[in-house]
Chains A and B, each alone.
Chain A
C-alpha cells in the first residue's frame, strides 16, 4: 500500500500530503514516487530527473587521468594511443554516474507551517506559502523532529537540537483549483466558489547538525 507511488507535499489540489506520502515505495531510499498531491498536507513530490541536481561534469583532463590507467589495462595500447577523443567523453560519463550515490542517505522529519513532512535531500516539497521568501532564497528549517540514517535515528524531544535542514525556495505558486460548492436542496440556495491555496515549493539541499545529538540504534 504505502509502497505504491503517491503524492508528496505534494497531488490533486486539495488532497496533498496525505495521499502523497501514502504511496511511498517500500525502499525508503533512494526514490519515493508520489502521485497525488494535496495542498493541505505538505508532502514530497515527484522529483524531476536527477539531472537537475547532478553536479556538473568534471573537467575532462581530470577524468581522463583517472580513467587512463584502467583503459590501458583493458584495451590494446595501440588503440588507446590512437583514439584519445572518445576516451574523455566516455570517462566523463562514467564519472558522473559514479558521483550520484554520493548523496547521503538520511531523512528528517521537519515541521513547517504546523505540518510535518518527511524530507530527504535532493527532493522538493510543497508547503504553505512562506511570506517574505523570494525565489532562490536559502532557508534554514530549525524545527527538526527526527533525523534518521541507515543505522541510527536521532529522536528529538521535542526537537533535535542544532539540527538544521537547508532548503532553497524554488517557486511560489498556487495549488490546483478546488471548487467549494454550497447547496441546500429545495431552498434555491447554491454558491459556486473556486479556491486556489497559495503554496511554496522548496527544494531540500541538506540536513546538518544532528551528529552531536544522542543517537538511538536497534541494539540498545
Chain B
C-alpha cells in the first residue's frame, strides 16, 4: 500500500465545531479539545432547557398575572381568578392573560370583573 496522509479531513471537521463555539469565553473558543467538550455541553443544555423553557415561561406568566390581579382590588388573587375562569368556562390561557395584563390592563380588569359577578 502506498502511504496516505490524512490531509485536511480532521481540520475540516474541527473548523465546523470551532465555528459553533466561536463566541465562547476564553479557552473554550480557542483550544480544540476544549471546544469539542463545550459544544457537547452547549447542545445538551439547549436540549434540556427547551423543555425547561416551557415551565419557566408558565411560572413567569403566573407571577405576572398574580401581580396585576392583586393590585386591582382588595383580597383578590391569582388562584381565585383561575377558579372563576374555569367556572365561567373561559378558555384564555396564562400566556394571553399575562400579555393582556401588560399591554391592556383595563381589559384584564374587565375580564376579572365579569367573571367575578
Contacts and interface: CB of A to CB of B under 8 A. Distances in A.
Interface of A: 1-3, 14-15, 17-18, 21-22, 24, 26-28, 40-41, 107, 109, 111, 116, 118, 145-146, 148, 152-153, 155-159, 178-183, 190, 192, 216-218, 220
Give the secondary structure class of B's interface: helix
A157 B92 contact: no
B103 interface: yes
B57 A18 contact: yes
A21 B110 contact: no
A28 B92 contact: no
Nearest to A24: B103
A216 B108 CA distance: 11
Interface in B72-117: 88-93, 95-96, 98-100, 102-104, 106-107, 109-111, 113-114
Nearest to A181: B43
Task: List the 4 shortest-distance A-B pairs measured between CB atoms, nearest first.
Answer: A181-B43, A2-B102, A158-B91, A28-B103
Contact of A181 (B44, B98, B106, B111): B44
A17 B53 CA distance: 12
A148 B96 CA distance: 13
B47 interface: yes
A157 B88 contact: yes
